[in-house]
Each structure stands twice: as structure tokens, then as C-alpha cells.
Amino acid sequence: MIGVLYPNSGNITSIRDSLQRLDRPYRILSDTNLQGIEQILIPGQGRFATVMDYLDRHGWVPVLREWCAADKPLLGICVGMQILLTESEEDPGVPGLGVFDGKVEKLQTPKTPMMGWARVRWQQPGWDDGAAYYVNSYVVREHPDTWGTTDYGGLFCGAIARGNVRAVQFHPEKSGVWGKEFLNQCLIS
Amino acid sequence: MSDLLKRIIPCLDVKNGRVVKGVNFQNLRDMGDPVALAARYEAEGADEVVFLDIAASAEARPTALAMVRSVSRALTIPFTLGGGLRSLADMHAFLEAGADKVCLNTTAVKEPETITQGAKHYGSQCIVVAIDVKRQPDGSWGVYTHGGRQSAERDAVAWAHEVVERGAGEILLTSMDRDGTGDGFDMAITGPLGRTLPIPVIASGGAKTPEHLVTAFRHGADAVLAATMFHSGAYHVGDTKRFLKAQGIPVRLDF
């Protein structure tokens, strides 16, 4: 069973429709009871501080840190990726989960948010080339755990991974057939 | 160097949960099921879809929301819902139903604070502001509402900048002079705004051929909206994209 963490930021209608299309049983996690949960999915648009505030108030911070330290399956999407880092320029002073050491930076490009399709250059074998849908104003520039990169104002981490803890800056649930197959590969069966 | 691709966005006019076609919203013909048509466009390579509810009303709201729910279950690409959105509550309802973005037009002009509040509550990336423009005698472009019939007494460039300041994530710029003519986009206003604004600009109004799209992309549009060009069957989205690619325009071809 997949547990979907809903940090009250943005809506999860798209990800729920996506899970349904992929025939994946899931449960929206209303508290930190992870009985029967084999993979945690953290979707979301929204603000770093808003999500971290929710996680903090509902006791998720130590639970998620422990889950990731045990290398249990987790997939973060968009801001769900950013909160795994140590900090973000979006909200200085607000600590992230620190699962991946590093900083989320503001895009310094003529147009923000980055909105649209862009290729992901995979750095691990076994993942198909394709274009992913991005909509974000903040990125992780460089990281030893880079899984895939995309260029917008320079290369940034389109995806980051260490063992079973994986996260993507793009929205696979909005990335067409490629995105659907990508999710199918990432999600536990 | 940038990997960001240009976007092709078919636009479907809907009324009471059905796709309609008509001139100036009169003599409407039922063109079919919006979910089926949008899914077909997705399969043919569309990057996003825009639905414009041309007869939005309180009575028609449940039908519109049901349509958005169905679309959300069927599409795996982003879609925008516009037409008759008057308040934060309206935006909330459609975003919750599954729309990725909501588009404000008349409401943005009459109550610009709606843009600010929408961006604040849902994020700029969810808020598209449609700006309908017409050339003025003095060489400037004026903003119009109500399907291009009413002057908003506002300069298009100044309004576009205000819209950006208020937190809109994207602008849908429609030339009401060109709309329905098939004479191509009005690049004299679309180009400069596309090149200078710090948010994406979707060119709209007048697209009839793939060459029109090439021009728009070469001169600063981030995306193009087209209706008749594709609905008529004259052009296929996928073939158009392959043509664009051959002309050096970066577009998504894996679909």
C-alpha cells in the first residue's frame, strides 16, 4: 500500500487520479500511523515553509527522517522533493528534512516559473528518455545524489535519488504517457 | 542553453459540458464530448489543453465541475479552465476538481485583487490571466472584456505589467483583431510582450497554419493557443510539431 502524504498545499486530485489510472492501492495519510504502508508519496505544489510547517506540527519530521534513514521507499514530487533538502532560498531559516544535504535555490532566469516540458538527462541506467512537465521557481543545482538533470538557466537536478529514497522536481502525473510509465516504474506494485 | 520546449495548446469552447463551435457564440453546434476530444488531442501530441466555458453560470456550475472531474481522470497532460470565474471560491472549486490552472479574464480587469488572492492562495503557477486586445487609433493596444466587445479603457502593456506584479503565472494574450480571421497572430504586440515579460506568454487569435506558429515562437511566444486550425481537421497536432521541429523550434515529440 502506498501512503500519500497530503501536506495541505496545492491539491492532490491529479496524483490521486494518476494512482487510480495505475491501479495502485493507496491511502491518504491523515496521521503518522504507517501501518501497512510500504512506500510514502509526497506530492505537492506550494511553498517550502508551508509544507514544513505542516510536517512539523503533525509529527512527520522525525518519522520521515527515520523512514529515509532506513532506506524505505519514498517518492517526493516538486515541493515534495525540495523539503527533503536541508534548506531553501524560498524560506530562509526554515529547516528542511535534510535527507539530502543541500540547498534549494531560486531560478535566476528571464522567465519564472519554469513552466513546460523539458528533457530529463538520466544519470542512472534503466530510465527512459522523455520530456517531463515542470512548473517551479526553485531548483537544486548540483548534488552528489543527482539522478537526472535538466537545463534551465543552467543544469539543475530534475531528479535526485539514494537507494529507495527518490524525488523528482517535475510532475510525472502531468507528463503524459512518458510520465505515466515513469510513475509505474517508481511506484511499488 | 535551455531544455524548455515550446508548447502547443488546443482550445476547446464548452457549454453545458459539451464542446461547441460557433461564430461570436451564436449558432452553436455541438461538437462532442470534451473528454474524448481532449484525450484525442493529448494522443496527437498536444502539450496542454484549455477549456473555455462560454456560458458559465451558477446553474451550469455542477455540469462544469463534473466535466473537469472527468477530464482530470482522463488526461495525463495539464489543462486550464477559464470562463466565468468570479471569485476565489470559484477558482478553488475548479482547482480541487482537478484543473491545473484557472484562467481569469473579465474578473481580472474588474477586480484585479482576485489575481493577487488567487496567486497567494493557490500559487502563481495556477493563475493564468487572459488579456484580450485590439489595436487603437493611436498605435497602442487596448484591453477588452466580454469577448472583445467592451473596452476596459486600459493600455495592454501597462495592464500586462500589472498582471505580472499581482502574481499571475502566465498570460494568455488574444488579439481580438485577428481572432477568427486565420491571418496569423498579431506579433506586433505578442512579440514584445513575449520577449519582455518575466512570465510565460501564450499567443492566441488568428492561428491558421503551422507557419503562423513558427513566427510566433521565433518572435517570443512561449506557447500558442489554436482552435479552428486543429478542430477543422486542417492540421494535425503531431504533424504540426514535426514541422516545427524541422524549422528549428524545440518542441516535445515523444507522445
Cβ atoms of A1 and A41 within 8 Å: the answer is no
When comparing pLDDT for A6 and B168, which is higher?
Answer: B168
Chain A residues with CB within 8 Å of chain B CB: 10-11, 13-14, 17-18, 20-21, 45-47, 109-119, 129-131, 133-136, 150-153, 173-180
User: B195-210 as b/e, with b when 16 or more CB fall inside 10 Å?
Assistant: eebebbbbbbbbbbbb
Rounded Cα distance between B147 and B134, Å, is 11
**Amino acid letter for position B40:** R
Active site residues of B: 13, 132
Rounded Cα distance between A61 and B174, Å, is 47
Reply yes or no: is the peptide bond before residue A92 cis, omega within 30 of 0. Answer: no
Summarised one tens digit per residue, pLDDT across range B137-152 is 999 999 999 888 999 9
Cβ atoms of B94 and B52 within 8 Å: the answer is no
Summarised one tens digit per residue, pLDDT across range A39-75 is 999 997 778 999 999 999 999 999 999 999 999 999 9
- Mean pLDDT for the stretch of residues B191-204: 97
Which residues, listed in sequence order, are joined to residue B134 by a DSSP beta bridge? Answer: B142
Summarised one tens digit per residue, pLDDT across range A5-41 is 988 767 789 999 999 999 999 999 989 999 999 999 9
Write down the pLDDT at residue B28.
Answer: 54
Best of A6, A20, A111, A152 to disrupt the B interface (most B CBs within 10 Å) is: A111
Q: Where are the beta strands (DSSP E) in chain B?
A: 7-15, 18-23, 26-32, 49-53, 79-82, 101-104, 127-135, 141-145, 150-155, 170-175, 201-204, 223-226
Rounded Cα distance between B192 and B199, Å, is 13
When comparing pLDDT for A10 and B85, which is higher?
Answer: B85
Q: What is the mean pLDDT of chain B?
A: 93
Write down the pLDDT at residue B29.
Answer: 60
- Cα separations (Å) of A185 from A22, A86, A161, A189, B188? 10, 27, 14, 9, 46
Q: Residues of B with CB below 8 A from A133's CB?
A: 77-78
**Amino acid letter for position B44:** E
Instruction: Label residue B82 exposed, middle or buried (CB < 10 Å: 0-12, 13-18, 19+).
Output: buried
Q: Of the candidates A151, A152, A176, which has its C-beta nearest B77's C-beta?
A: A176
Summarised one tens digit per residue, pLDDT across range B20-71 is 875 444 445 666 899 999 999 999 999 999 999 998 888 889 999 999 999 9
Cβ atoms of A10 and A44 within 8 Å: the answer is yes
